[in-house]
């Protein structure tokens, strides 16, 4: 089994879990789904950079092969942006919960079987 298959499988699992959690009805699950999607995107960007081991990140006249620093810079920037967005979404979800009393995405309370029987 090749390393490319393992990385592609990890990206697929993170993406599918992120989409599934994002489509759930509770805000915490949506936040986790968005975080997993951002992790999948980061791994994808990092894997697409054709990483080279033990090569300098700067091209020079005497260098025949070099590492591309752009994927690392993109992933680092994406991590910082994802952290800020996650913090914002958590605060918005907490504020919504405090105002509505439920953590449903649509803001409506859960209707359970016990409520129907009463």
CATH, domain range 3-105: 1.10.287
Rg, C-alpha atoms of the chain: 21
Q: Which residue has the higher pLDDT, 96 or 58?
A: 96
Q: Is the pLDDT of residue 114 over 60?
A: no
Mean pLDDT within 71-82: 90
**For the chain, percent of residues with pLDDT exceeding 70:** 91
N-to-C CA span, the chain: 57
- Say what the pTM is: 0.75
Q: Residue 104: pLDDT band by 50, 70, 90 thresholds?
A: confident
**For the chain, percent of residues with pLDDT exceeding 90:** 43
Mean pLDDT within 33-60: 84
Q: What's the pLDDT score for residue 107?
A: 67
């Amino acid at each position: 089994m090749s390393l490319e298959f393992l990385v592609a499988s990890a990206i697929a699992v993170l993406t599918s879990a992120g989409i599934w959690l994002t489509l759930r009805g509770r805000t915490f699950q949506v936040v986790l789904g968005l975080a997993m999607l951002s992790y999948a995107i980061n791994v994808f960007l990092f894997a697409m950079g054709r990483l080279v081991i033990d090569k300098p990140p700067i091209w020079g006249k005497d260098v025949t092969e070099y590492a591309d620093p752009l994927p690392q810079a993109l992933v680092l920037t994406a991590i910082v942006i994802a952290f800020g967005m996650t913090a914002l979404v958590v605060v918005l979800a907490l504020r919504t919960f405090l105002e509505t009393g439920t953590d449903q995405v649509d803001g409506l309370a859960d209707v359970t079987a016990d409520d129907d029987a009463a």
